[in-house]
Amino acid sequence: MLTNAKWIGSPRSGVHTGAVWDYEINRVLPVYDGTAELFFAARDLDNGLRLEVDVIQGVVHFYEHTDRAWEGPRKDGFHKEVYTLGEECGYSLLGKVNIVDKCSVAVRLHVVKRAVKLWVEDALVIENAEILPENHPARPRKNYRMMEGIRQQAGEPFTLENACPGVMVKKEIIPAQGKELQKAVLYTTARGFYECYINGEKVGQEYYAPGFTDYRLRIDYQEYDVTKMVMNAEMAVFTTIVGKGYYSGFVGYSGAHIYGTENSFLGKLVFTYTDGTTEEVCTDESCLYTDKCPVLYADYLDGEYYDARLEDALADPASWMPCGVKEAPGEVIPTNGSFPEERKPVFTLTKQDYPGAKCIQVLRPVSVTEEPKGHFVYDFGQNMVGTVRITLKGKRGKSYKIRYGEMCYQNGEIYVQNLRTAANTDVYVCKGEEPETYEPSLVSHGFRYVEVTGNGYDLENGEDILSLEGLVITNIGEKVGDFSCSDPLLNKLQSNIEWGQIDNYLLTLTDCPQRNERMGWTGDAQVFAATAVFNREARAFTEKWLQDLRDAQLMYNRGGGVPDTAPLGGDNRRLTSGGWGDASVIVPWELYMEFGDKKILEDNFQMMQAWVEYQRGYESEPGIQGEQPRGDHLAYDTSTPFLLCATAYAARSADLLSRICDILGKRELAEGYHARFKEIKAAYQRKWVKEDGTLTIPTQTGYALSIDFGLLEEKHLPGAAADFLRTIEERNGHLSVGFLGISHLLPALSKLGRDDVAMSILMKKENPGWLYSVLNGATTIWERWNSYIAETDTFGDVNMNSFNHYAYGAVGDWMYQNLLGIRKDAPGYEKLTLAPKPLGELTHAEGYHICPYGRIESAWKLENGKFHYHIKVPQGVTATVILPDGATYENVTEGEFTYDK
Ligand code: BGC
């Protein structure tokens, strides 16, 4: 569709969009109190390096400034700390200088990445010394590139002359010359995240287009009907801004430039006239480029830097120059060397076939505090993902800094340590048009709290901030289910599960949306898959992710191994592991069960089969999987061996694949994979199951997987059940599972007929348990059972302490299936069982699920010792109703029914 269009960008080649890392500063610095100072290498005015020339001692020093957005206990304070570059960082630069004039000093500083050369009064003082240790464990260094103007002591910041901002290109078109326009369609995409405008108005409602794919292999393009926007315009000015996005910006923890270094844009506008003729306008050399783009920097993980003063320059034709034409994406090179000639894939531009990221809700702050002084912290009352819209009034050049945190300390101070190296900070420089509104739209943040302060100074008061809104941005679809009951804590848990999904269905199915990770972790996706489809329309976006997973398997190029994340790129360790790679079978299966569409299985068949075959070839002994990098991730107090988890999952995948083959009419294969399932099951039993049914390594996850995946024989069940219950009792009724056990713990107990135990685990209010986070103020699902302890105002290990990980929300599936009793008996709900369970102290529960046939409702209450049940069955569905006393009603079809018992 985009044939004839050319990729366009900056006329310079080899330049990386965003801040620069090779520059020279020539300045005569004023001397105050015996020193002259210059602030450079800065991410913003609170994070950078300070050069100090001591004219009395005749020496130069370098100091590091940091607002400690990345680390450190708060007791040290995060505000305006100054660290000398000395022992701590392993770097100390001292140079002798001889200065005659004590009122001013001429310095010339050349910076190339982390190396500096310094001349003072024309004498070379420092030659090629490193100024910043790279990735010092305590202060990860990735932002040594200049993004903020250089500041001299007591002087105004000045900006770099040769900065290379976001790519901004434009083209002026006079539509419909002499003809009558019928339709105008715009096709666009970019290497980087882009936004397109026609005469200043944004095209479409999408954020972060073209989305996230493995850009080496595939880039989606978007199609917009822009007829209305150009219909009566005499002149249509098309402008595009491209930020780094995931193309050249940081991706997960793997660094930047994973897919490429230079950002560029590709577009075509097709006019159709009433006389049937068409006309195409394509991006090419005739488009204009400016280096006055107000978006000086936009890294999806780090944040945006917007200098609104530059907006004025855009009106000046002198600010625009011919753009550069960039090479189109070329050969596809997998992460693992090269493809064999016969399997070499070609790069493709594909039409986006899923709903793009959109703002679905606007939240307003519920309170604001000032902590520490000059830092205004707004609480949105809900951990959310997206961006903000802020209206400020400030003099021209006044700049503000916006930081984001999921939590606050009890004194109101924002908690940002868990973001790891993601700076998650936006800076806005006012143009002086009071009021002015800013929306950092090429970046996203995971936050409940937003701190607004000055950039390099404290705000005197909060009056500058006229309003602040939180824009919830997600790729998730409509709500298709709800659950509520007589227990407010469970209701909050349900809300937290749903928010966790809204927040993590963005660009890919992410593990978490805030720190330097936000990757499509396969394990998390598979444990949550069944819950996901109960709550929200998730098919289109999950299918998109499955395409990413197929691409990742291909790009990984290891005989069917499925990488741990998709799209591939955020995790460059190239790992694959049981429980994670099994997402390739489990996620399509769950989607198929929900929607009953065989196409889902067909589309993913090759991937699943290749994965199961890969597992067959990856054994340490017959039927037992080989070494694995991960197992029951973050298990609470006992770990289950990696090999046990991986082998159990390998059995599960083989079992599901054999059923899938059956459904697709591949009988022989079905038998083969059934035999493979039995082979793994037998090996599993030999290695880990004792005669009496107990496991040699008796963990909750071990039992949950063994029972839920059908890895035990009938004769094993009594012994296994008794020992499984013991592992719960000895923890006073608490769980101890991690990621791989979580979606099977309660279902396994229910399978054993112990709904009562399952319910009591769910209702535990202490750590570890679901309601502990609820009682500690959670508004989303936490990564750890005890990510925060309100009693002591302490946080879990900052290395992995997300407050928005949907994985443990996998319990939602059990709640729908048991407390509401909504269970599909056939793919797509053609057959349904409604078997509600009044468990624990609950006195009522109600909810619905919109399945492919329509809305299913289930509501019960206990009143005067009676069970009152109301249901709704949609057309096309045949239901079996089973009441708690066992009374069963078969063949219930469309309609609303009430049962009183
Ligand atoms: C992620 C998880 C993921 C895991 C794999 C973590 O860093 O946040 O959710 O599944 O790594 O072990």
Residue-wise pLDDT for 286-319, tens only, equals 999 998 899 988 999 989 999 999 999 999 999 9
Judge if the beta carbon of residue 518 lies within 6 A of ligand 1.
no
**What's the CA-to-centroid distance between 590 and ligand 1, angstroms?**
21
Q: Which two tokens stand for residue 577?
A: 């592991």
Residue 340: asked if its preceding bond is cis (omega within 30°), the reply is no
Amino acid making up residue 390: I
User: Is pLDDT of 475 > 70?
Assistant: yes
CB of 524 closer than 6 angstroms to any ligand 1 atom: yes
Residue 670 corresponds to which tokens in the numbers above?
């079905």
Strands of the sheet containing 831-834, edge to edge, are 822-824, 831-834, 878-882, 888-892
Q: Which two tokens stand for residue 172?
A: 């002026």
Q: Which atom of ligand 1 is nearest to the CA of 522?
A: 10
Q: Is the pLDDT of residue 137 over 50?
A: no
pLDDT over 70 (residue 69): no
Q: Is 521's C-beta closer than 6 angstroms to any atom of ligand 1?
A: yes
Question: Is the pLDDT assigned to residue 138 strictly greater than 50?
Answer: no
709-713's contacts with Cβ under 8 Å and 24+ in sequence apart are 709/648, 709/649, 709/651, 709/652, 709/655, 709/744, 710/655, 710/681, 711/648, 711/651, 711/681, 711/684, 711/685, 712/685, 713/685
Three-state secondary-structure class, residue 625: strand
What is the average pLDDT score of the chain? 90
pLDDT for the residue 368: 97
| Nearest-CA residue for atom 1 of ligand 1 | 511
Percentage of the residues of the chain whose pLDDT score is greater than 70 = 91
- Cα(119) to centroid of ligand 1, in Å? 48
Q: Once rounded to an integer, what is the mean pLDDT over residues 749-756?
A: 98
Span from the CA of 823 to the centroid of ligand 1 (angstroms): 30
Residue 75 pLDDT grade (very low, low, confident, very high; cuts 50, 70, 90): very low
Specify which residues 437 forms β-bridges with.
391
Distance from the alpha carbon of residue 518 to the mean position of ligand 1, in angstroms: 10
Question: Rounded to the nearest 10 degrees, what angle do helices 522-535 and 739-751 cross at?
Answer: 50
pLDDT tier for residue 90 given thresholds of 50, 70 and 90: very low
CA of 2 to the centre of ligand 1 (A): 37
Evaluate if residue 88 carries a pLDDT over 50.
Answer: no
Could you identify the atom of ligand 1 that is nearest to the CA of residue 580? 10
For residue 630, give the ligand 1 atom closest to its CA.
12
Contact status, residue 618 vs residue 625, Cβ threshold 8 Å:
yes
Q: One of 451, 498, 783, 857 is an active-site residue; which one?
A: 783
570, 518 Cβ separation under 8 angstroms: yes
> Is the model more confident about 323 or about 798?
323
Where does the pLDDT of residue 87 fall: very low under 50, low under 70, confident under 90, or very high at 90 and above?
A: very low
Q: Tell me if 592 CB under 6 Å of ligand 1.
A: no
Ligand 1 atom nearest residue 523's Cα: 10
Interatomic CA distance for residues 488 and 763, integer angstroms: 11
- The number of the ligand 1 atom at minimal distance from the alpha carbon of 805 is 9
Q: What is the DSSP letter of 878?
A: E
Residue 144 has pLDDT above 70, yes or no: no
Ligand 1, atom 3, lies closest to the CA of: 521
The reply to whether ligand 1 has any atom less than 6 angstroms from the CB of 356 is: no
What is the whole-number distance in angstroms between the Cα of residue 511 and the centre of ligand 1? 7
For residue 37, the tally of other CB atoms under 10 A from its CB is 20
* 892 vs 235, higher pLDDT: 892
CA distance 544 to 799: 30
Is pLDDT at 48 greater than 80 in this prediction? no
In whole angstroms, what is the distance from residue 459 CA to residue 591 CA?
51
% of the chain beyond a pLDDT of 90: 69
CA of 588 to the centre of ligand 1 (A): 21
Q: Is 635 in the pocket of ligand 1 (CB under 6 A)?
A: no
Q: Is the CB of 523 under 6 A from ligand 1?
A: yes
Question: What is the 565 CA–ligand 1 centroid distance (Å)?
Answer: 9
Whether 517 lines ligand 1, by a CB cut-off of 6 Å, is yes
Can you tell me which atom of ligand 1 is nearest the CA of 629? 12
How many residues in total does the chain contain? 901
Beta strand residue intervals within 703-795, DSSP E? 788-789, 794-795
Nearest ligand 1 atom, CA 512: 8
Most confident of 229-238, 396-405, 879-888: 879-888
Task: Identify whether 517 is a catalytic site residue.
Answer: yes
Q: How many CB atoms lie within 10 A of CB 644?
A: 26
Which residue reads 């404290």 in tokens?
458
pLDDT score, position 504: 98
Please tell me the least confidently modeled range out of 128-142, 414-428, 443-457, 694-708.
128-142
User: pLDDT at residue 140 above 50?
Assistant: no
Ligand 1 mutation target, pool 516, 521, 576, most atoms within 8 A of CB: 521
CB-ligand 1 contact for 511 (6 Å cutoff): yes
Mutate to test the pocket of ligand 1, among 418, 511, 805 (most ligand atoms within 8 A of CB): 511
Q: What average pLDDT score do residues 634-648 get?
A: 93
Q: How far is the CA of 521 from the centre of ligand 1 (A)?
A: 7
CB of 806 closer than 6 A to ligand 1? no
Distance CA 756, CA 840 (A): 7
Question: Is it the case that residue 136 has pLDDT exceeding 60?
Answer: no
Neighbours of 127 (CB within 10 A): 12
pLDDT at 63: 75
**Which residues pair with residue 321 across a beta bridge?**
289
pLDDT at 373: 85
The answer, yes or no, to whether any atom of ligand 1 lies below 6 A from the CB of 513, is: no
Confidence check: pLDDT of 807 > 50: yes
Neighbours of 157 (CB within 10 A): 17
pLDDT band at 70 (very low <50, low <70, confident <90, very high): very low
Residues 225-243 have a mean pLDDT of 92
Left (φ > 0), alpha (ψ -120 to 50) or beta: where does 394 sit? beta
Query: How many Å apart are CA 145 and CA 112, to the nearest integer?
Result: 9
- CA 817 to ligand 1 centroid distance, Å: 27
Stretch 656-669: mean pLDDT: 98
State pLDDT tens for residues 521-578: 999 999 999 999 999 999 999 999 999 999 999 999 888 999 999 999 866 666 789 9
pLDDT in the model for residue 73? 38
CB 639 within 8 A of CB 632: yes
* Whether the predicted pLDDT of 77 surpasses 80: no
The tokens describing 493, both together, are 């848990």
* Residue of 120, 70, 75, 130 whose CA lies nearest to 100: 120
The protein residue whose alpha carbon is closest to atom 9 in ligand 1 is: 511
**Active-site annotation holder among 304, 439, 517, 543:** 517
Q: For the stretch 806-830, what's the b/e string if a residue is b when 16 or more beta carbons lie within 10 angstroms of its beta carbon?
A: bbbbbbbbbbbbbbbbbbbeebbbe
Q: Is residue 31's pLDDT more than 60? A: yes
371 catalytic? Reply is no
Q: How far apart are CA 825 and CA 856, in angstroms?
A: 14
642 CB within 6 A, ligand 1:
no
Question: In the predicted model, is pLDDT for residue 154 greater than 60?
Answer: no
